[in-house]
Amino acid sequence: MDADIIIVGGGLNGPALALALASGGLSSVIIDALPLATRRKPAFDGRAYALALTSVRMLDVLGIWPVVATNAQPMLDIKVSDGKPGEGAASLFVHFDHNEISEGPMGYMLEDRTLRRALLDAVKASNLITQIAPARVLAQEIHSSHAEVVLDDGRTLRGRVLVGCDGRRSGVALRASISRTGHGYHQTGLVCAVSHEQSHNGVAYQQFMPSGPLAILPLPDNRSAIVWTETSTRAAEINAMSDKDFMAELRPRFGDFLGKIKLVGKRFSYPLDLTIANEFARARLALVGDAAHGIHYLAGQGLNLGLRDVAALAEVLLDAARRGEDIGDALVLARYSQWRGADVMALAVSTDAINKLFSNDNPVLRAMRVAGLGMVNALPSARRGFIREAAGLSGDLPRLLKGQAI
């Protein structure tokens, strides 16, 4: 064997999994198509993550959080509204306040580039992890005793388990003939960062517009990350605009509650779809992160879901290894897919339903939505339930997400 685990994909979940496994003594090889230098680039790619409190606990156990914490912005409150362009983000809302739970902030905002570099640096420092990049996996085979991948440089690698962390278009799933369920949203996320005159005070805003949600997420230094969802046709028109015209479109949606706003850095766009693998694991093979499930960005939970996969899979594999079981056995890996299946489906179905219910201008649905949001705002137990979900505190949590070593 070249390693216990062969991981295809060195984005975010691949390195996090390798580090979690190494913390319990299992070795891995990470293969990625992109050179390491490209993935470590300090340029901002527009993405910033709302990391749930439990994801932060896990990153802390893995030694990543102490490295990135000074660049993270605590997310204290979330305000959700049902709006229209011109109304601004601070109109009628439901207010979720972190003081309603005892654990502290629901999560932290962290830029992709900061998290990515910290993960890759920790991987480099581990003597149980080997990185191979740039290299593409061309073929894979599952045998009774091991899994095997063939790289485009002619090398063949063997491990006891093959894990696909290779994103929404997972080649590992495709080569294993694992089918997917999903659909396109005909929506595109327009992503950028803005600076503003007034402090956001750690408040995140989610405003549901007829064409899709607009998220304004707090970043350090009086900046906010914008994830603005539009129909793909309209998004293409907005994308083609100059920065000045783009900001003229954004301002009436954003409102003036944070004073004057200014574009910081480049603009990016991401088409949106729902894509769920119909199997998360089988003998000697598992899928993790976006390779297993790509969901709508509106809940800001894609990476959090992936990190929950990482924590669950690492715990299942390490516990099996300690008991002397074959870690690639179908029954061992079934524990992982059973653990993760319900959680993923619940979030995929709810984000899909919320997007359908809110992304329209139907007056009847709008009246129902406003009444529904008002009811949630008036019910402390409903508010607390939502806050615990956003913080990742509900469900059967793996040890890493409780802040415990594995």
Ligand X SMILES: Cc1cc2nc3c(=O)[nH]c(=O)nc-3n(C[C@H](O)[C@H](O)[C@H](O)COP(=O)(O)OP(=O)(O)OC[C@H]3O[C@@H](n4cnc5c(N)ncnc54)[C@H](O)[C@@H]3O)c2cc1C
212 binds ligand X (CB under 6 A): no
The residues in 42-71 that bind ligand X, with binding defined as CB under 6 A, are 47, 49-50
13 binds ligand X (CB under 6 A): yes
Nearer to ligand X, 136 or 251 (CB): 136
**x-or-dash string of contact with ligand X, 303-322, rule CB under 6 A:** xx-x----------------
Q: How far is CA 111 from the centre of its chain?
A: 12
Closest CA to 372 of 98, 97, 82: 82
Q: How many residues does the chain have?
A: 406
Which residue lies nearest ligand X, judged by its C-beta?
11
**From candidates 59, 101, 165, 332, binder to ligand X by CB under 6 A:** 165
**From candidates 1, 34, 238, 334, binder to ligand X by CB under 6 A:** 34
Phi/psi at 134 (5° precision): -80, 135
Alpha helix locations (H) across 165-279?
A: 171-175, 232-239, 243-254
Residues binding ligand X: what is the number (CB under 6 A)? 34
The 3-state secondary structure of 187-213 reads: EEEEEEEEEECCCCCCEEEEEEECCEE
3-state SS class at 321: helix
Pick the piece of the chain touching ligand X (CB under 6 A) from 29-37, 77-85, 206-214, 373-381: 29-37
Closest separation in Å from C-beta 277 to ligand X = 12
Q: How far is CA 92 from the centre of its chain?
A: 28
Closest separation in Å from C-beta 16 to ligand X = 8
40 binds ligand X (CB under 6 A): no
The residues in 124-153 that bind ligand X, with binding defined as CB under 6 A, are 136-137
**From candidates 4, 5, 9, 101, binder to ligand X by CB under 6 A:** 9
Pick the piece of the chain touching ligand X (CB under 6 A) from 10-18, 81-89, 321-329, 364-372: 10-18
Q: What per-residue string of b and e applies to 247-264 under the rule 16 or more CB within 10 Å gives b?
A: bebbbebbbeebeebebb
Closest separation in Å from C-beta 143 to ligand X = 20
Residue 372, both tokens: 């529904």
- As a whole number of angstroms, the distance between CA 111 and CA 71 comes to 8
- As a whole number of angstroms, the distance between CA 193 and CA 215 comes to 11
The residues in 255-284 that bind ligand X, with binding defined as CB under 6 A, are 270
**From candidates 171, 212, 213, 218, binder to ligand X by CB under 6 A:** 171
- As a whole number of angstroms, the distance between CA 226 and CA 147 comes to 42
Phi/psi at 180 (5° precision): -130, 150
Pick the piece of the chain touching ligand X (CB under 6 A) from 8-16, 18-26, 90-98, 312-320: 8-16
Q: Which residues bind ligand X (CB under 6 A)?
A: 8-14, 31-34, 47, 49-50, 136-137, 165-167, 171, 189, 191, 227, 270, 289-291, 297, 300-304, 306
